[in-house]
Structure formats: C-alpha cells, structure tokens
Structure 1
Amino acid sequence: MILKRFFQRSQSPARSCYEAIVAAARHPRLYADWGVPDTLDGRFDMITLHTYLVLERLKGEEPEFRQAVVDEFFRDMDRSLREMGVGDLSVGKKVRKMAESFYGRIAAYDAALAAPGDGLAAALARNVFPDEEGGPDIAGVRRLAEFVLTQRARLAAQPVRAIAGGDVRFEEPGP
C-alpha cells in the first residue's frame, strides 16, 4: 500500500478538469427530467457540450491546457470504444467520426452564442434531440439552453488559473 503511493503518478490538471466535465455531463436530471436521451449519443452530446463550455471559457487563454482537455476527451472516447468491444481496426474510424461530430457541434454552439435570438435552442434541438419522433420536447430544449447560459456565466466567474489547474465547477441542473 505504501509503495503504491511512490509509484502512482499524480493526476494532470487536464484529467481533473475532464473528470469534472464528465461528472457534470452525467447528472441524472439532464436525462430523467429534461429529456436528454440516456443513450451513447445523448451522453456523448452532454460531454461534448460541457467540454465546449470549458473550452469556450478559456478561448484565447491557456492554449496548451485547452488542447490537453481535448486530448483527454478523445482518449476517453477511444477507451470507451475499446471497452464496448470495438475492434482495433475500427476504433480509428469511429474516433474520426466522433471528432467530426465534436468539432461540428463546437462550431454550431459558437455560432449560436455569437448570434442573438434562439440560435442556441435550435442548435441544441438539432444536436442533442435529433431523433425524437414529433420533434424534441421544447420545454426540455429551453431548460437545456438556459442551463448552458447559466453554466457559461458560472464558468466566466471562475479564474482561468483555477480552471487550468484542474478545478472547474459546474452548477447542478435545477428542477
């Protein structure tokens, strides 16, 4: 037990930040109360959204840390695919497809937040709730859009140095 402490590497700040992102993205209320699909795609979308919020907060600052968080994201996606039994030859293709989805969503959220109006709700409806029969639950989309804006403000109030040190704090989704 004591020897384990000597050989155990300390966790990187990017890993700590990414773990906070995943914990926030897995909050049960997002799925149970707000209608985010509790599927692989829904979870991917929530992790992508929370990662986006951190990257957006650090835009123009801490470029190495931002890249390290993205690297953690893709390492996690790679590991998850392998745990699900995806073969080595297919992992690269699937991660490439995930990367396209990830960067497409980043661009969509950037554009939505830069423009006035309901662009954010539309982007969330398209990306998070795309396959819902009869269209997405509008109330769930609006709650998620409000939540994104609240998280964005909360992150803006957190010092860059703290976030880059791995200490990022998300607010829990309300009822």
Structure 2
Amino acid sequence: MFRKLFRRDRESDAVHDLYANLMSQARKKEFYENYSVPDSLDGRFDMITLHMFLVLHRLKDDKETTETFSQKLFDLMFYDMDLSLREMGVGDVGVGKRVKAMLQGFYGRLAAYEEAMPLGEEVLENALERNLYGTTGADKESLQYMRKYITRQIEHLKGQEIIQLMSGKITFCP
C-alpha cells in the first residue's frame, strides 16, 4: 500500500526535468542584461512563455505521442505560477484572477508566435515587440537577436528526438 503511495512516476519526473531546463534557459541573465528583456515579473513570464512555445512547438510534431506529456508540462507551468504568486503574498482571490490573466496572455503569445513563424522576419519581430517587449519596447538590435534566437532554437530542437525530450532532456543552442 505504501509503495503505491510513494511511487515516483517517470513521466512526471521527466516533465519536471524538462521544465527545470526550460526555466534555466529562460532565466539566463544575458536576455535581461544584453537584449532588453524587462527584468520584471512580466518580462520573466514572457521569457518562460517564449521557451514553452519553443518546446511545445517541437512536441506538436508528434502530437499523438506527446499530447499527455505536453499537457503535464503546461499544468506544471501554471502550478508553478500559482505557487510563485502565493509566495509573493498574493491572496487566494487575487491568485485566481492573476492566473486567469496569465493563461490568456500565454495563449495569446503562443498564437502570435505560431502565426508569425511562417510569415517572415518582420512579422515575427512585430510579434516579439508586442508580446516580449510589450511593457517596455525594444531596440532593433534586440528584436533581431530574439528573432534569430527563436529560429535557431526551433531548428536546434528539430534535431532532438521526441523520446529524448519526453525523458526530460533538452539542450538549447548557445
């Protein structure tokens, strides 16, 4: 009975590992220090969302295999957001409202990046300007860097096997 209660689930462990790697990449200080990403709650949320987009974009290539895994990754992200808000002292009522706003922002950003990808560099830069830099604005150099970063990462992630990602292992190119 106790073994079943305390048993670890490999898929959940892999989801946690993948999320930790994604978070580590999204928190790299060079984004905030060198490429105008606001070092704020909004800016960090936007970088996490951008990296979730990259990972989910790759996972959807094999949707039948990855659908449950992708859902668990999404659930973990918003569970983490909920916990973070509570740790910051946001009350129960406020957490629900903020998480709802974060969900709307998350879906909006994912849709904007997904729609912009096939339409070219300028459209993707416009999506980044509205979504990643919406609260502060960005210089042309930062926009170009982040656009190139996204396209490099998408190509890099295509080279990683789905089974590798679903085991929690991911690499991002430098």
TM-score between both structures, scaled by the size of structure 1: 0.89
**Matching residue of 1:64:** 68
Identity %: 41
79, 84, 90: which one pairs with 1:80?
84
Structure 1: gaps (5+ residues): 1-6
Aligned-partner SS, 1:48 = helix
1:104-133 Cα deviation digits (max 9, x unpaired): 00000000012234111110011111233x
Structure 2: gaps (5+ residues): 1-5
Whether 1:144 and 2:146 are equivalent positions in the alignment is: yes
**Matching residue of 2:3:** none
1:138-167 Cα deviation digits (max 9, x unpaired): 100110110011111110100000001111
| In 2, Cα distance between equivalents of 1:20 and 1:136 | 26
| In 2, Cα distance between equivalents of 1:93 and 1:124 | 25
The one-letter code matched in structure 2 to 1:13 is A
TM-score between both structures, scaled by the size of structure 2: 0.89
1:130-169 equivalences under 5 Å are 130-132=134-136, 135-169=137-171
What is the alpha-carbon root mean square deviation over aligned residues?
A: 1.5
115, 131, 140: which one pairs with 1:111?
115
| In 2, Cα distance between equivalents of 1:8 and 1:29 | 39
| In 1, Cα distance between equivalents of 2:117 and 2:30 | 24
**Matching residue of 1:3:** none
**Matching residue of 1:93:** 97
4+ runs deviating over 4 angstroms: 7-11
**Matching residue of 1:41:** 42
Aligned-partner SS, 2:89 = coil
Aligned-partner SS, 2:90 = coil
| In 1, Cα distance between equivalents of 2:130 and 2:18 | 27
Once the two structures are TM-superposed, the CA of residue 93 in structure 1 deviates from its matched residue by: 1.1
